A and B are shown apart, each in its own frame.
Chain A
Amino acid sequence: MSKVEEVFARNKADGQDTLVGYFPAGFPNVEESIEACVAMCENGVDVLELGVPYSDPVMDGLVIQQATEVALENGFKLGQIFDIVEAISSRVSTPVLVMTYWNPVMQYGVRRFAEDLKEAGGEGLITPDLIVDEAGEWLKASDDLELDRVFLATPTSTQERVDALVAASRGFVYTVSTMGITGARADLDAKARSVVEKVRNSPVERFTAVGIGISTSEQVSEVNDYADGAIVGSVFVNAYKSAGLEGLIALTKSLSK
């Protein structure tokens, strides 16, 4: 069982909700993003999803787009992702998964990226624009290095595709709740339940967390009723933008209560 899977299993055994929290690396700069992530981990985030800023983030809504643009304008370099993972991991025991679009990893070298992530204490990757069909090199590297790999299951995925991506995933399966891109929504889409159903129907058993559009503590607990965890992103960025570390801590506490 990977460290991420242990967290899900423990919370499940204890009847606790699981909160996966996203924050962009390097936003607004490297130092502040480390402090923000540590604060999230210390105040109730169970698994940290650390985002790599990328020039063409097609799965992200405006809030995260703007935040990662700031990170890039402030000079974020890809190699710093490992420094940030290492700094966070040295201060908290919360497992850290890196969320990244695929081109930066390709350019860095898939194997080399995996090795440096492992070395830094990272647990694996969440890959929003990499489907299992194109993931050959990453499947091998993550097997060799025992890293988690989180693929996305969506409302339009057939049972056959869900079966394949569930089998290929490790850590958990990222259930996309709406057909939208990331960004807080007023209501959670009922489609999430049908995706979770497909994940549950797969021959291979995996934890699954629901993301995209989750912004309130009610939604976090609602999702935890039928899935194994809830993934929250944009509202963390908004909280930090509007009220700094204090606002971020208050939000984390309210979402994980």
Chain B
Amino acid sequence: MSEQGNLRDIKGPYFGEFGGRFVPESLIAALDQLEETYRQAQADPTFHYELAELHRTYTGRPSILTEVKRFAEHANGARVILKREDLNHTGSHKINNVLGQALLAKRMGKKRIIAETGAGQHGVASATAAALFGLECVVYMGEVDTKRQALNVARMQLLGAEVRPVTTGSKTLKDAINEALRDWVTNVDSTHYLLGTVAGPHPFPEMVRDFHSIIGIEARAQMLEEFGALPTALAACVGGGSNAIGLFHAFLDDQDVQIFGFEAAGEGMDTQKHAATLNFGKPGVLHGARSYMLQNEDGQTIESHSISAGLDYPGVGPEHSWLKDLGRAQYRGISDDEAMQALRLLSKTEGIIPAIETAHALAGVLKLGFELGSDATILVNLSGRGDKDMETAGKYFGLLGS
């Protein structure tokens, strides 16, 4: 990849042939303002200091590494190490990006933020930041997701945010983003769209990645310090792809570190009911960027399926599409059942209940151990905790009675 230069240095708007700005003209001024504000912030030590202080005193960074030996026995005895983003305030990696963007909203003088959410993790993080910074917050959430993630809806409301259920289309994350974009087009002067993943128009994929790249930067240093070596492989779940790129980015130029993303295969890779965009999608334009997406021959988006609301998305961030085509990262599918079994396994063997999203990466690790061998060290992004999923898990395993 020498002709590519350093993979870590790539900025938007394009990642190879992916990315760009396929949005209504109405949003260009806001995207330009956001990019300009972000560039200024990047060059401003005050911004970095403010964000670092928030992470130290509010998020609880750095997040720790936990080696999970009992879990690893089920992965052919390979070493398995978790990067504990579940221990962040609000319970997932999402807070990393939200605090960064909330600081930018403040710099832009915008008093209202809007966000989309699938599982509710980004919505909760956004509502949290809005409370902390005294901003008005509206969260768009597909009606299907408001039901399967009812606890997170209550959390957002308690934090002072308004949750607007979205009843159009598939009533999930994709449609929540459509509705947030409509709101933004209408209220662009007063409102910042706090997009929660590495998708969307430039500068979002680059900026959200940068805010999450702290995951990999910390983990890389912690691996060297605590384990004396870089891992053999990285593993993370991929919906839009924010926690995955956050872990991967610091390691992109470490040629010996293999990179694996795990998509939701829903009811199975041999069925139509999945959210395995990078495995079964084709390049197209969805929500402002060119990337792989699930679509039919007419370019109509195909509805995705996953037990995990956070991975139930027919698109993916453009940088992942680029990494896939370069061959730098491999993307594989994990079924609902494989994920749920991994969720239970980590809970029982280690006393850590992961989010269902995250459980896709753990199920992937169980397979990787056999593929890479018992000498391998696999670093997994434990992107979120599973408290929000107790109802789904309770029903799935028949723990709630009948």
Contact B25 A104 (CB under 8 A): no
Task: Name which residue of chain B comes closest to A161, CB basis.
Answer: B28
Category for how many chain A residues contact B: 35 or more
Q: What separation, in Å, do the CA atoms of A103 and B285 have in the docked complex? A: 5
- B interface, over-half SS: mixed
Complex interface: stretch among B86-94, B213-221, B296-304: B296-304
Contact B25 A179 (CB under 8 A): no
B188: which A residues are within 8 A, CB to CB?
Answer: 156, 179
Interface string of A146-165 (1 = CB under 8 A from B): 00000111111110010001
Task: Name which residue of chain B comes closest to A165, CB basis.
Answer: B25
Contact A55 B301 (CB under 8 A): yes
* Chain A nearest Cβ from B312, distance in angstroms: 15
Give the residue of A77, A78, A106, A156 whose beta carbon is less than 8 angstroms from that of B28. A156
Contact B298 A151 (CB under 8 A): no
Q: Is A32 an interface residue (CB 8 A)?
A: no
Q: What separation, in Å, do the CA atoms of A61 and B25 have in the docked complex? A: 17
Contact A102 B24 (CB under 8 A): no
A181: which B residues are within 8 A, CB to CB?
Answer: 182, 185-186
Contact B25 A107 (CB under 8 A): no
Q: What separation, in Å, do the CA atoms of A54 and B287 have in the docked complex? A: 13
Give residues of chain A (94-134) contacting chain B, Cβ–Cβ below 8 Å: 102-108, 128-131, 133-134
A156: which B residues are within 8 A, CB to CB?
Answer: 26-30, 188-189
Q: Is A231 an interface residue (CB 8 A)?
A: no
- Are A131 and B182 CB-contacts (below 8 A) given A54-B300, A78-B299, A108-B299? no
Contact B286 A56 (CB under 8 A): yes
Q: Is B23 an interface residue (CB 8 A)?
A: yes
Give the residue of B185, B189, B284 whose beta carbon is less than 8 angstroms from that of A59. B185
A62: which B residues are within 8 A, CB to CB?
Answer: 168
Give the residue of A56, A77, A153 whose beta carbon is less than 8 angstroms from that of B178. A56
Contact B29 A157 (CB under 8 A): yes
Contact B22 A129 (CB under 8 A): yes
Contact B187 A154 (CB under 8 A): no
B182: which A residues are within 8 A, CB to CB?
Answer: 58-59, 61, 181
Contact A58 B178 (CB under 8 A): yes
Q: Is A176 an interface residue (CB 8 A)?
A: yes
Task: Name which residue of chain B comes closest to A72, CB basis.
Answer: B300
Task: Name which residue of chain A comes closest to B282, CB basis.
Answer: A107
Interface string of B172-204 (1 = CB under 8 A from A): 001000100110011111000000000000000
Beyond A55-B300, A65-B168, A156-B30, 17 additional contacts (C-beta under 8 Å) are: A69-B168, A77-B298, A103-B285, A103-B301, A107-B297, A107-B298, A108-B299, A129-B23, A129-B24, A130-B22, A131-B28, A151-B25, A154-B25, A155-B26, A156-B29, A176-B25, A179-B186
CB<8 Å pairs between A and B, sample of 9: A69-B169, A106-B284, A107-B299, A131-B21, A156-B28, A157-B29, A158-B29, A161-B25, A176-B26
Q: Which 9 A-B pairs have the closest CB atoms?
A: A107-B299, A156-B29, A104-B299, A78-B298, A103-B299, A154-B26, A55-B301, A55-B300, A103-B285
